[in-house]
Amino acid sequence: MGKKSKKNYRNLFLISYIILLLFALPISQLKAAEVEPDTETEGPTEFIFHHIADSYDWHFVTIGHTHVTLPLPLILYSEDRGVEVFMSSNFLDEEHNYVPYQGYALEDDGQHLVSVEGRTFYDFSITKNIAAMLLSVIVMLIIFPAAASRYKNNPASAPKGLQSFIEPVVIFIRDEVAIPAIGVHKYQRFMPYLLTVFFFILINNLLGLLPGAANVTGNISITLTLALFTFLITQFSGNKNYWKHVFNTPGVPWWLLPIMIPVELIGLFTKPFSLMVRLFANITAGHIIILSIIGLIFIFESIAVGPVSVLFAAVMNFLELLVALLQAFVFTLLSAIYFGGAVEDHHHEEGKALEDENANAPLQTDSAMI
């Protein structure tokens, strides 16, 4: 192993150690409920679920009695008061306890907003997950226009910088996902969505591994929305052959159609359901496992448990990096497969030779989609 490789491994180890240390800081404030049942100290279960849940403020870390929190804007509308805008910090007193404000109260440690006066209101607030999504969108708006402008200004130059990272990923999604699943003649109109959803999930997965970060893709409402986008695109892109397989499956006797049609219709909805649950469950499980392993140190309060917990947490942290990439790829791949089934022609063997010939086409046709 060369000196450069050893240095890279050492740097990666140091980064992982710092991340685990930052995770341990807030967990170190915890005590097991069985040890101190009469105190108001937050238990490990409550802390873990609070960490992976959405909230109206962005709490990063607690060091002693100091809370590092980013207040977020609450945007509410009611018929009697109209639009109201105020910061979540108005609900916190000097001791960082939640108190009512303007007839509203934050319950469950800032996770739910209620009206103490029984008022009906509509909530358009910027929560932690929404703020994290806006951050990921800003990152994408900075990276991709810069890479696309370089393609336009210097189309024949070798990629460098961020372009050298983005181009192989775009080529991989095009050649290994879109073209095989959709076809060389129809893949281009789906590439903007496939690239967008891949990088959106990947960036949010990676940002979610940082201490104090939001658990965006571990929120089932967000994965439901992403799956709904795939579902709608699939249905509106379906051709005559696609709907024929749903309502008049080829090769099936007519007397079986009353059974096959409901089965096929149910299958239309189970596909996005599997997309939603798979992404949500894998990301949420990873967060819970890492926090639970580190929490064992402070629950057992034993020196012997410390090294073992840190070792397993480090392994899980590296595994979560793989899961972050894998789940973005799986969601994109399955979406492409669903799109391919919707636009597939009955005589799909025609033009197969041309598809194989153009499978390795240059990236110039897709550069505008970056």
Task: Count CA within 13 A, CB hemisphere, residue 249.
Answer: 16
Q: 34-48, 205-219, 293-307: which range is least confident on average?
A: 34-48
Tell me what the mean pLDDT of segment 348-355 comes to: 46
The DSSP code sequence of 131-158 is HHHHHHHHHHHHHHHHHHHHHHH-TTSP
Kindly state the average pLDDT of the residues 162-170. Answer: 85
Residue 173: the pLDDT is 94
Own/partner contacts of 102-111, CB < 8 Å, gap of 24 or more, are 104/74, 104/76, 106/56, 109/46, 109/50, 109/55, 110/55, 110/56, 110/57, 110/59, 111/50, 111/53, 111/54, 111/55, 111/56
Position with higher pLDDT, 153 vs 347? 153
Q: What tokens does 198 get?
A: 């891949």
> Taking residues 238-255, what's their average pLDDT?
84
**The pLDDT of residue 194:** 94
pLDDT in tens, 271-293: 999 999 999 999 988 888 888 88
pLDDT above 80 for 241: yes
187-196, 259-268, 294-303, 349-358, range with the lowest pLDDT? 349-358
More confident residue, 228 or 10: 228
> pLDDT for 248-267, tens place per residue?
877 778 888 888 888 889 98
Report the 3 state secondary structure along 65-102: CEEEEEECEEEEEECCCEEEEEEHHHHECCCCCECCEC
Q: Of the candidates 31, 27, 65, 10, which has an alpha carbon nearest to the alpha carbon of residue 287? A: 27
Band (225; pLDDT cuts 50, 70, 90): very high
Indicate the pTM of the whole model.
0.79
Spatial distance between the Cα atoms of 207 and 213, rounded to a whole number of angstroms: 7
Locate the domains of the chain by residue range: 69-126, 129-369
CB 132 within 8 A of CB 213: yes
